[in-house]
Amino acid sequence: MESAADVFCRAVTDVKSFLKRRRYRRQLAVLKCVVSSNMKAALSPSVRKEELQALVRRNLKYHEITADFLDSWKYRTQRQRTEWEGYDVFKEIVRIYGTAIVCSFHFGNYYLFPFEIARLGYRVVCVIGDQHKQLELIQEAAVSLGLPIQTVKSERLSLLRLVRELRNGKLAYLLIDEIGGAAVNEKMLRVPFLGLPLMFKRGVGALHYYTGLPIVPVVTEIRGHGRGVIRVGKAIEPLASLEDKHNTIDRTVTELFRSFEAEVIRDPAQWQKWVDMKRYRVDNRPRIQDGAGFDLKRANLKISRDALRVLQDRKGIIMIDMNKGRYYAINKTSRYALELMHKYGEFEQIASRLRSKFGLTEEGAESCIRRLAAVAGIDG
């Protein structure tokens, strides 16, 4: 018979489990909403609601399959049935040049390629963005399986290290739709992608230019748990003579994204960066985006709770724009300002409470409100 303490402990555990499941379902609902909204904005307007819902379900399923793959035990014990399309072309390129720059993006089981190519005897260097968990999992899996795979964190000096590794005959594997850096800076390039002007890094173009090595585009399509198809695309060959550096780099990056865009159009559910599209977006109205176009003191600032929601996730506090399917990182000051904007409609009332609670200057309070008003699409 259970003691009172055991009953109490089990009850507490059950409650925690229930709250965790409820929080997960809430976050999953928001994720579905964001993915669906971004898909709808980029795909054909004629796509039916049922088709869109099916694409979102498949997209989330592929997320799970990819996450499961980065587990060395599962990779070792499951018989990974992998097919190749164009492997002979890849092998011939490496024979001619000694190595190659392999590019992919977050499509299908995007980390299958380095493991499968390493099993065939190639030495590989994977470039990882800001996803520290994946960095550790890949290293752990490679060591456990005895595969010649190294990882390099994407940062300021990683280009120099990659050049050195390529000269030593290793393959470089890069995901070119990694997030990183400011939305607008000299390292980012505006690229037409899925009918939208999006910003992506120029790094792979620079690597291609400085090394004189070919870029081989690769995608890995998921065909179910434990099944994948690795397709090798048409290589971008090095130029015979050096042209203008900036034009060459930009043309290379644009050409790569054009080939990957065709893959997303062919099977939208396989691309796993739908949720991040707002972080790639280029807004041609910068004054509206930073709130400079608003006469806030005359605007009605009351915001519907149904339009904007705030969640606490593992990365911090985020605000979800449910209408546009975008999300924004916010701090505690902005969260409090948003609560005031749910409650009050007058600028002076909101600004006064912000200044009082956080000791802000008048300019600081107004700047905070402007940013939130810009996200909410309030017109002055």
Tens-digit pLDDT profile for residues 316-371 = 567 776 656 666 778 888 888 888 988 888 888 899 999 999 998 888 888 888 88
The per-residue pLDDT for 182 is 36
* pLDDT above 70: residue 203: yes
Instruction: Please state the φ and ψ torsions of residue 122, each to the nearest 5 degrees.
Output: -85, 145
The residues that bridge with 320 in the sheet, in sequence order, are 309, 327
Q: How confident is the model at residue 14 (pLDDT cuts 50, 70, 90)?
A: low
The per-residue pLDDT for 218 is 97
The per-residue pLDDT for 45 is 73
Contacts by 130-136, CB closer than 8 A, 24 or more apart: 130/154, 130/178, 130/179, 130/180, 134/70
Domain boundaries defined on the chain: 72-278, 286-376
Mean pLDDT of 258-280: 90
The per-residue pLDDT for 108 is 94
Q: How confident is the model at residue 132 (pLDDT cuts 50, 70, 90)?
A: low
**The pTM is what?**
0.71
* pLDDT above 90: residue 219: yes
Rounded CA-CA distance 262/259 in Å is 5
Given the structure tokens 């499951």, which residue do they identify?
Answer: 78
The per-residue pLDDT for 110 is 92
Rounded CA-CA distance 151/172 in Å is 10
The per-residue pLDDT for 189 is 87
* pLDDT above 90: residue 91: yes
* pLDDT above 80: residue 204: yes
Q: Which of 16-20, 37-41, 199-203 has the lowest mean pLDDT?
A: 16-20
The per-residue pLDDT for 315 is 53
**Domain spanning 72-278 has what CATH number?**
3.40.50
Higher pLDDT, 180 or 121: 121
Q: And the tokens for 35?
A: 């993915």
* pLDDT above 70: residue 12: no
Burial of residue 358 (number of CB atoms within 10 Å: 0-12, 13-18, 19+): middle
Is residue 236 a contact partner of residue 255, using CB atoms and an 8 Å limit? yes
* pLDDT above 90: residue 105: yes
- Would the CA dihedral through 121, 125, 131, 136 be positive or negative? positive
The per-residue pLDDT for 184 is 42
Higher pLDDT, 185 or 326: 326
The per-residue pLDDT for 1 is 57
Mean pLDDT of 179-194: 67
Whole-number average pLDDT of the chain: 81
